[in-house]
Amino acid sequence: MLRRLFHYFKPHRKLFALDLFCAFMVSAVDLAFPLVSRHAMYQMLPNSMYRAFFTLMFCVAFFYLLRSVCYYLMTYLGHSFGVFVEADIRSDMFAHLQQLDFEFYDKNRTGKLMSRLTGDLFEITELAHHGPEDLLISLLTITGSLVFMFAMEWRLALVVALLIPIFLLIVMNRRKNMSEASTEVKQRLAGINADIESSISGMRTSKAFANENVEKDRFSRSNDTYINARKIFFKAMGIFNACQEFFMCIMPVAVITVGGYLIMEGSMNYIDLITFTLFVNAFVTPIRKLSNFAEIFTNGMAGLKRFDEIMRMEPEVKEKPGAGPIRVTDGAIEIDDISFSYNENTEVINHLSLSVTPGETLAIVGHSGGGKTTLCQLVPRFYDVTGGAIRIDGTDIREVTKRSLRENIGIVQQDVFIFADTIFENIRYGRPDATYDEVIQAAKQAEIYDDIMEMPDQFETYVGERGTKLSGGQKQRLSIARIFLKNPKILILDEATSALDTITEERIQKSFDQLSVGRTTMVIAHRLATVRNADRIIVIENGTITESGTHEELLQLDGEYAMLYHTQELGNQA
């Protein structure tokens, strides 16, 4: 995992090197001060060397000013480095999330994924920035101090050297507890983010049912779980900090105790004891940084572990090595004895075979749960068949890139998603390089142009989160306009007119008829009146085709289709 993190350092290694150089300068100044003070007390003060002494103190003040500049650079450049690393990690993680399949998003909540893209990455950033910086300052200052201490009085230095490993052992032991508690906190935070996202998204539903208290109770339970996890972490951190403070206080006591004994024995003088005390005081910052590093390392590694878990996930729908783009010329679809199941126990598509000729409009009908939508999701490879093959113009779709396949397929899904942007950008999503005039033409074809011109800002009207400022029919027509703009060879319409009134539906149907000319079209419909003019209609039940023919042929067959059609007719008359 650390190797993966260091990979993101490379593009910003100059900034990282400058940050570490500043950390080195800070350590050098901290180490120099006790030595300079010792020299002044041995040479300058006894000999009344006023000029040399005040010149030396002026130089010390200058170097402390330089140290402050280094801290400024460490804060500014170091944090900038951390932000750059965070941005690169987030970019890679978002790109990887885009590669994962529908199945991954079927199993993972949006709020938890958002937590991994924000909170977890912040902890990684803190580790990338403060980790190496704090570790370098601590190691240089402590190691340098011990070297000079042993050079002055090895017995007193040995006391300090024995206390440091004990302190580090306690730090490492408490770090493990903090790591476990930190991981638990992150999991609980991801859970509460998911609950918040779900509650906000469903706010209209909760208000419609007057269930605000239900949502409040659900949030309170998640919040209490998070608080308990946080309390466990704070308890572990409290023990850690208590041990740290004890050792930082006991170290000067040990130095003065042993040093005082050596002075009384005549083995040491006051100047060296004062110098030792200064070195011990110089330990305070590095020891705090070590403890800070332990906390940052704990949190950062927990975030890095969760990041690594995502990056190690592989899409179920994989491209073959060397897969090239598909060339769709006619748009013939051949479905050859395919089977598919979302899990091992339930088979949704069962040995289904079907040929759709170029330019044919095929309607797919049947009861809910029969496999209609699943069949249409297999054509653009949102899922992979577990048996058989799907070919477009004779090419197995598993032999080509997913991107090129989906570029040639236009899909209007049953669950329309509208982005929180303008009308113009939502339509242009169908083809991001489209011109303004092309967007207008697509809006006219989708029968939404007049509605747009009546809006306050027309095509620049902001539609709100998930298109909340639009009616259901307007959302549907907006998604249809995207397909007109995309102008693909193959169309898949999954209940594309389900949210429209009868009059608008008829107008849209005429536009679909025009768009379908020369294109292969698969239409899923529950309202059978909308597919009467389809070239062919198939009935799917339990993942198999039970009936196939034109509208008139299926009525004469007097089977499942005829029963569904007559039932809807009676409903409309009622």
Domains of the chain: 2-312 (1.20.1560.10), 333-573 (3.40.50.300)
What residues form DSSP beta bridges with 521? 361, 491
User: What pLDDT, on the 0 to 100 scale, is given for residue 111?
Assistant: 65
Q: Averaged over 528-554, what is the pLDDT?
A: 84
User: What pLDDT, on the 0 to 100 scale, is given for residue 65?
Assistant: 92
User: What pLDDT, on the 0 to 100 scale, is given for residue 504?
Assistant: 64
pLDDT value at 471 more than 80: no
Give the position of tokens 């653009």: 380
Q: Around Cβ 139, how many Cβ atoms within 10 Å? A: 14
User: What pLDDT, on the 0 to 100 scale, is given for residue 179?
Assistant: 66
User: What pLDDT, on the 0 to 100 scale, is given for residue 105?
Assistant: 72
CA pair distance 332, 463, nearest whole angstrom: 37
pLDDT digits (tens, 9 = 90+) for 378-402: 888 888 888 889 999 888 888 888 8
Which two tokens mark 488? Answer: 């693909």
How wide is the angle at C-alpha 230 spanned by C-alphas 198 and 243, nearest 5°? 160
CA pair distance 447, 478, nearest whole angstrom: 9
Tell me which of 193-202, 284-293, 470-479 is least confident.
193-202
Q: Which helix (H) or strand (E) holds 516?
A: helix 502-516
pLDDT digits (tens, 9 = 90+) for 189-209: 767 766 776 676 666 566 655
pTM over 0.75: no
pLDDT digits (tens, 9 = 90+) for 37-61: 888 888 888 888 888 888 988 998 9
User: What pLDDT, on the 0 to 100 scale, is given for residue 202?
Assistant: 67
pLDDT digits (tens, 9 = 90+) for 501-540: 666 667 667 667 767 777 888 888 777 777 778 889 888 8
Which two tokens mark 312? Answer: 């190690």
Q: Averaged over 145-153, what is the pLDDT?
A: 83
Mean pLDDT over the full length of the chain: 80
CA pair distance 458, 479, nearest whole angstrom: 17
Strand-strand pairing, 347-356 and 490-494: unpaired
pLDDT digits (tens, 9 = 90+) for 330-354: 888 998 988 888 776 677 888 888 8
pLDDT value at 220 more than 60: yes
State the pLDDT confidence band at 135, using cuts at 50, 70 and 90: confident
Q: Averaged over 405-421, what is the pLDDT?
A: 80
pLDDT value at 561 more than 50: yes
User: What pLDDT, on the 0 to 100 scale, is given for residue 62?
Assistant: 92
pLDDT value at 143 more than 70: yes
What residues form DSSP beta bridges with 410? 491
State the pLDDT confidence band at 574, using cuts at 50, 70 and 90: very low
